[in-house]
Structure 1
């Protein structure tokens, strides 16, 4: 592996680029490591009742909209978050992927995809919760899960 530093005075922010002949497990591992070290994820505040919670985003199964609110689902609980889905999509890169107009899932928590004639359902590890995938977003999800192998 070759490591190189390029200085560009026109840049306003630092940028890390990974160049590889193919996307494999080593590339994914390198990407995840950099994301974990230098990711720009702001601390997310989750609300439940009158309490504020500071959860690890890796514990989140999925985010979904319900009316005008966005809910974050963990294995056992549900919280409200003050971000819109499009904002979360920009903040949470890497393991999170959009699966419909109203949901973003944590691909590391996916246990199974169940396809039927009328729908595609995502089930999660150690949870009875499930969410539906839009046909429009299915290929992106499938590719993401394939790369994870």
Structure 2
């Protein structure tokens, strides 16, 4: 497929035009990516002691609320952010999923899922950290990761 890029004046609205002979799921996915802007890297302002950081969502393993505070886990550090989980759900890409009342995970950093005896599931990240998926969110997570058996 040929790709052309034409630069426009900054006052003009950017627009992507796809000339296709037939519609298929890949084109629909591409359209969603362009319209939602999920190709852009989202950063979350975070705090560690008195320092302010801008953490790229690519590096975030999961978000967790504990006693009305939002913690951002990157694998090597844990930051605090001034957002609520419902606010994050609205802006995060499809690579993130809510797995409990207090946790949103980055699906790209999960190495594997394990069933537990009490009906819960455990998500283990590539760095060895673990978090738990509640039964309430399990069906939504299955759908999000493509119906794979969990």
Q: Deviations over 1:17-75 (max 9, x none)?
A: xxx77xx6x36862674233468x5x421100000111111110000101010001011
Considering only aligned residues, what root-mean-square deviation do their CA atoms show, in Å? 2.9
Highest CA radius of gyration, 1 or 2? 2
The alignment partner of 2:94 has SS state of coil
Superposition pairs of residues 1-149 of structure 1, within 5 angstroms: 26=26, 30=30, 33-34=33-34, 35-37=37-39, 41=42, 43-118=43-118, 119-125=120-126, 127-146=127-146
Q: Which runs of 4+ in 1 moved over 2 A?
A: 26-39
- For structure 2, list consecutive stretches of 5 or more residues without a partner in the other structure: 1-15, 17-22
Give the alignment's TM-score, normalised by structure 2.
Answer: 0.72
With structure 1 as the length reference, what TM-score do the two structures score?
0.72
Greater RCO (Cα-Cα under 8 Å, separation 6 or more): 1
Kindly indicate which of the two structures has a greater share of residues assigned to helix: 1
- Structure 1: gaps spanning 5 or more residues: 1-15
Return closer, same or farther for 1:94/1:32 CA change in 2, 3 Å cut-off. farther
